[in-house]
Structures are given as C-alpha cells and as structure tokens.
Amino acid sequence: MTISNNGFPGSIEVKGLEILNRPILFVVETQNGKEQFSEPQNVKLLKNEPGVMQGGWESVSENVQISGLGTIEADGYINYKLKVKALNPIKAKDFRLEIPLKNNIAKYMMGMDLPGTTVPVNHNAKWNGPHDSFWIGNAHAGLWCELRGSNYSGPLLNLYHPEYPESWYNDDKGGFKIESTNSEVKAIVYSGSRDLKKGEEFEFEWSMLITPVKDINYKSQFTDRYYHNGGNPMPGDKDLESGVKIVNLHHANNYNPHINFPFVAVDSMKWFVNKLHEKGQKVKIYYTIRELTNYTNELWALRSLGDEILGNGNGGGYPWLREHLISGYHPQWYQWFPDKSADASIVNAPGDSRWYNYYIAGLEWLVKNVDIDGLYLDDVSYDRRIVKRIRKVLDNTKPGCLLDLHSNTGFSKGPATQYTEYFPYIDKLWFGESFQYDKMSHENWLVEVSGIPFGLMGDMLQGGGNRWLGMLFGMTTRLPWSSEKIKADPRPVWKIWDEFHIQDAEMIGFWEDKPLVTTTKFDVKATVYKKQGKSLIAIGNFSDKPQTISLKIDFEKLGIDPKETTLYAPEIQDFQTAKQWKTGDEITVGPRKGWLVYVGN
C-alpha cells in the first residue's frame, strides 16, 4: 500500500493485483463546490512498531481544517480518524468518502443493504437496518470498509441495536452509493448537508481491511474434519474412522455445562479432553463473551459494578434470575437439566469491559491446565483487538490451537461483513444458521458463506446446507447430521474425497476469470478439482428448475485427451446414482442439486 499526497491510500496491491483505480478521497463540498485542500502539513510518524504504523497530518482549505490520524497493521487492517473543523461559517452540501476500485476487481459485494451479489452498475442505500459495513472485490483481491463512531462497533448489531455513527448518519441525511464507469466502481459513503458555525468540530472514522487475509489451507479443509454435537459431544469409533480430527465441545452437556463459564466443571472437561487426545483428536471448547451463566462464581462482584459487565434490561426470564437479580438485567440463554438447577444466563453489556481481561486470562489457564486446543466462537461481542489477544495467547501457550467462528443472522445481519476484521486470526468459518441455502444465489454462497474471497473455507450446518451446491465451494456438513428429512451425512462424500485424494488437487472455481470447466446455463456452475490426468468436477444447479447442460472443458489445461476419456459419476449414497456420459453429452441437473463427475483416467 502506498499513501497519496492527500494522506489516504493511493495504491493497494495484492499479489500483483491493484485494487484501487485512483486514490481514495475524502471530499468536502459546499455551495461553492469542492473544497481544495493543501498538501498535508505537520506530517508526523507517531508509531512505528512491529505490526503497526501510525501517522498524523493536517490539511487546510479555505473553510475547513482536517486533522487526520491514520493507522495500518500488519494484517492489512487500516483505520482513519478525521477531526473536521469549520474555519468559517459554512453551508456544507456533503462530507463523503470515495473509494474508487478497478472494475476488474469489483466483481462481488455485500453490505450497503445488499446480500452477497454481483456489483450493480448503480446502487443507493440508506441506514435502513443494523448494518455499518460493506465489502467489494473478488476471490483474489478486495476491500472491506466499516463506518465507525457509534457507541458499539462489534458484530452483534441485531442484539444490541446501537445508534448509528452520528457523523455519517447525520439525522438520516447520510447513505451509501455505488457509481460505475468503464474503468472503475466507486463506493461512496456520504453524510449529506449540514450547517457549521465557525470553530465547530466533529469526527469521521472508518476502518478498512485488505482481502484476502491469507492463503487458503485446502489440505486442512479436506482432511481436518469436524465433529460437533452439543448434547452428546463424544464421537464414536465409526466417526473417527471417517476422518474426524477435531471435536468441538459445546456447552449444555456434562463436560461443559454452563455457558461461557467452563470453570465449574473443569475435572469433567479435562477427562473429556484427555480421552480424545488419546485417540489423536483435537478438542476446542465453547467459551465466548455474549452472555454469562448464573453459575458464574463472581456474579455478585460483577453485579456490584452496575452495567459495566452485566448489561441492563427489563429483567424476567428464569425464576432464579427473577428472585435473585430482581431487575436491571436482560435474560438470554436458558438450559434445563433434569438432575440439577437450570443454566440461566444474562446478556453482557455491549462494548469494552474489564471482564475481557478475565476472559483472556481464563483462556490461558484452560490451555495450560485442561490442555484444550482452541475455541469454538459462537457470535461473540468483542472486536478484533480481543481476537488478536486470543490468537496470541493460543499461539504462545500451545502452538497449533484453532479458532472456529460460527454466526447466526439473528444476532448479526450479514455475519461475513460484521466479522471481517476477525478473519486474519480465524482458521475456519461456520456461517449458516438462519441461512436459507436452497434460496441463495451462487454469488451469495461465495461471498457470505464460503469464506473463499477472504482466504478461508467453511462447513455447512448439520440438518441444513446443500450437499450438491456445497461441493462447488469444498463444503460439507460436520458430523453428526441431525435430520432424516435432509440427507446431510457427509461421510459418503468424504469417502470420494479420500479415494480421489482431493487434498492434493488444485481447486479452480466458477468464480475465476478463466475457469477450466463451465456449463451452457448461467444458473448451473462448475468447480474442478484438478489433478494431472484425472480431475473431479462438482456441478451445481442454483435454480429451482431442472436444467439440461453441456460441459465446456479445457482438456488441454487439465492434461486430458478428450478422445480417450468419458465423464463418470460414481455411486454416492443419498447424493447420486452411478452414470456415464461421453464428452459433449447433455447432462440433466435437478433443481438445487448437482453431480460429482470424474474426467480422465
């Protein structure tokens, strides 16, 4: 990244791909036109430490002074804070941020009141719900932007419903735009008109993250398989034989009974962890911050701190909470146990608190004393600073620990935009709860579910997902599956993975500029897992109607002679019957279904 003479990024390059078409701008427009600012003055390097650099500057126009503070971190995270001061009384038409991206990069987007989709030519949106961020890019380069300045900037917008950042919102005069030309896609965040008195000040803040944040670990995706069963977390021998390597220990069971306070049942948890370590498994536990159980040892000490840690509310919920806390709390998770009193929780207060330090220290203690192998994060309320601390504790205490992130749209509208700042420190995603897999477009799957544009991969929810469409993104469900109606058992597909040694293949998806396999219908996509001389093709129909297609295959790049090969679909339980085609034959694909097809010898 280079900085232009206005103090903002002028060039952002990811592995040879330039993201920006020209420098990012912060525009001040009055009735007399755009303010012309001087070259930055009083430029100072305020911080130059491992992992972070920070600089400050001032820019002055006829009517406005901007005092800027810019920070960039080693993971590609960028933050700007601009203090704007009126030097004269002015009637401003707009204060806005303009991000001009190259149109070959700006292929997909999410946010600005849009789900994951292709970038529209033009788009207008207002602050119509709990959203404060957007992402634009493709699978190889992109930029995420979050508008900050609210009283809460974490991911759980649907839970806490924070006020919008006043500088950007500006009494609903602010909003978002997409404006496209032949050379660029310009993302605009505007705040609208306002009258300023001389000397009046206010602040604009935003953060950005360059994507992808890492290279995808394909081998781990296809070999490190998960077992996740809340009530009965111990996998059986057949589960382990199918390739399970990582077990998530949820709460609400004998080994981790109380939500977000695992210290009551440490002996049981340690037994569970030791038992699975003997079988060559890693164990990650549910331990987050969002709500806190009534079993918390320090509950009354925390209650004495007012609403710093335990959030305020109208009370209610489980009788124990009504009898003991009376009022001034917000009930949340509840779990009934037949042999003891219920686990009843209350919502933590939004934003920072000293409980974060307890949480981090508790994590380190669990790694050292219980020998856990990481965390299963389920819709947490903290920001990237805490995730960085978690990652440091795990890496420094026990290298090889894992972080797995799960989200429900009920807590966070658009988890992929709300948790983007976590992604440099996450190993795997599990976005799917409340998602309607069978109604989503291929763009929505790619951007909001798969994790691929960000350098991550994920799994689908048990009892949900779509086995056929998921294979276009290298995704299956976890064991065990939980629905007889939806045949989601991943083991028949895992068997094909193992027979093909898919972890050694190169994954080339339909989202690439030059895919090696395409189809003759727009709604039917193909991803190829390429190995020299033999490849596996995943075909998926994203429409609600049967489609008859032909495959267009680049045989030369696959290293296959089309005259000496056929297309063969192996028998896969609850997935497909065995079938064979000649190259060029038509293939019928059912609605929201697909095929796994071998090509080559």
pLDDT digits (tens, 9 = 90+) for 531-585: 988 999 999 999 999 999 999 999 999 999 998 899 999 999 999 999 999 999 9
The closest alpha carbon to 503, from 212, 217, 280, 215, belongs to 217
Angstrom CA distances, 245 to 373, 470, 541, stand at: 12, 20, 31
Are 247 and 281 spatial neighbours (Cβ–Cβ below 8 Å)? yes
* DSSP-assigned states of every residue in 527-583: EEEEETTEEEEEEEE-SSS-EEE-EEE-HHHHT--GGG-EEEE--BTTTB--EEEET
Lowest mean pLDDT among 76-90, 152-166, 292-306, 467-481: 152-166
| Residue 376 predicted with pLDDT over 80 | yes
* DSSP-assigned states of every residue in 137-198: E-SS-EEEEEEE-SS--SS-HHHH-PPPPHHHHTTTT-EEEEEE-SSEEEEEEE---EEE-T
pLDDT in tens, 449-467: 999 999 999 999 876 789 9
Say how far apart CA 435 and CA 217 lie, in whole Å: 25
Please state which CATH class domain 506-600 belongs to: mainly beta
Angstrom CA distances, 6 to 19, 24, 55, 210, stand at: 18, 9, 13, 20
- Predicted local distance difference test score (pLDDT) of residue 601: 79
| Residue 484 predicted with pLDDT over 70 | no
Share of the chain above pLDDT 90, in %: 86
- Determine the residue type at 370: V
Q: 151: pLDDT confidence band, cut at 50, 70 and 90?
A: confident
The closest alpha carbon to 529, from 446, 450, 443, 596, belongs to 596
Are 168 and 174 spatial neighbours (Cβ–Cβ below 8 Å)? yes
CB atoms within 10 A of CB 464: 19
Say how far apart CA 434 and CA 415 lie, in whole Å: 11
pLDDT in tens, 53-112: 999 999 999 999 999 999 999 999 999 999 999 999 999 999 999 999 999 999 999 999
pLDDT in tens, 108-126: 999 999 999 999 999 999 9
Residue 98 corresponds to which tokens in the numbers above?
Answer: 């303009």
Could you give phi then psi for residue 442, rounded to 5 degrees? Answer: -65, -30
- Predicted local distance difference test score (pLDDT) of residue 577: 97
Indicate the pairing of strand 108-111 with strand 114-118: antiparallel
What average pLDDT score do residues 477-505 get?
Answer: 87
Domain boundaries, the chain: 2-210, 218-290+350-459, 295-347, 506-600
Could you give phi then psi for residue 393, rounded to 5 degrees? Answer: -60, -45
- Predicted local distance difference test score (pLDDT) of residue 486: 65
Q: 372: pLDDT confidence band, cut at 50, 70 and 90?
A: very high
Are 25 and 88 spatial neighbours (Cβ–Cβ below 8 Å)? no
- Residue 487, classed as helix, strand or coil, is coil
Q: 412: pLDDT confidence band, cut at 50, 70 and 90?
A: low
Helix, strand, coil % over all residues of the chain, rounded to 5? 20, 40, 40
The closest alpha carbon to 424, from 401, 391, 375, belongs to 391
What average pLDDT score do residues 335-358 get?
Answer: 89
The closest alpha carbon to 514, from 530, 500, 494, belongs to 530
Q: Which 8-state DSSP code applies to residue 448?
A: I
| Residue 340 predicted with pLDDT over 80 | no
| Residue 130 predicted with pLDDT over 70 | no
Within 13 Å of residue 517, how many CA atoms lie on the same side as its CB? 29
Say how far apart CA 306 and CA 298 lie, in whole Å: 14
**Rg (the chain; Cα; Å):** 26
Lowest mean pLDDT among 420-434, 435-449, 477-491, 524-538: 477-491
Say how far apart CA 265 and CA 359 lie, in whole Å: 16
Q: 436: pLDDT confidence band, cut at 50, 70 and 90?
A: confident
According to CATH, the topology of domain 218-290+350-459 is TIM Barrel (3.20.20)
- Predicted local distance difference test score (pLDDT) of residue 417: 93
Q: Which 8-state DSSP code applies to residue 232?
A: S
Residue 58 corresponds to which tokens in the numbers above?
Answer: 């001032």
Rounded mean pLDDT of the chain? 94
Q: Is 411 left (phi over 0), alpha (psi -120 to 50) or beta?
A: alpha
- Predicted local distance difference test score (pLDDT) of residue 314: 93
Strand partners, 144: 135, 209
- Predicted local distance difference test score (pLDDT) of residue 433: 83
- Determine the residue type at 63: N
Q: Omega into 212 within 30° of 0, i.e. cis?
A: yes
Within 13 Å of residue 516, how many CA atoms lie on the same side as its CB? 21
Say how far apart CA 119 and CA 180 lie, in whole Å: 9
**Which residue has better confidence, 170 or 156?**
170
Burial 389-421 (b: 16+ CB within 10 A, else e): bbbebbeeeeeebbbbbbbbbebbbbbbbbbbb
Are 251 and 257 spatial neighbours (Cβ–Cβ below 8 Å)? yes
- Predicted local distance difference test score (pLDDT) of residue 482: 62
Say how far apart CA 231 and CA 225 lie, in whole Å: 19
- Predicted local distance difference test score (pLDDT) of residue 411: 65
Residue 2 corresponds to which tokens in the numbers above?
Answer: 């280079």
Within 13 Å of residue 177, how many CA atoms lie on the same side as its CB? 14
Say how far apart CA 544 and CA 290 lie, in whole Å: 38
Say how far apart CA 384 and CA 426 lie, in whole Å: 11
Lowest mean pLDDT among 315-319, 396-400, 591-595: 315-319
Q: 143: pLDDT confidence band, cut at 50, 70 and 90?
A: very high
Say how far apart CA 383 and CA 353 lie, in whole Å: 12
The closest alpha carbon to 248, from 218, 273, 221, 223, belongs to 273
Give 2-210's CATH code, choosing from 2.70.98, 2.60.40, 3.30.70, 2.30.29: 2.70.98
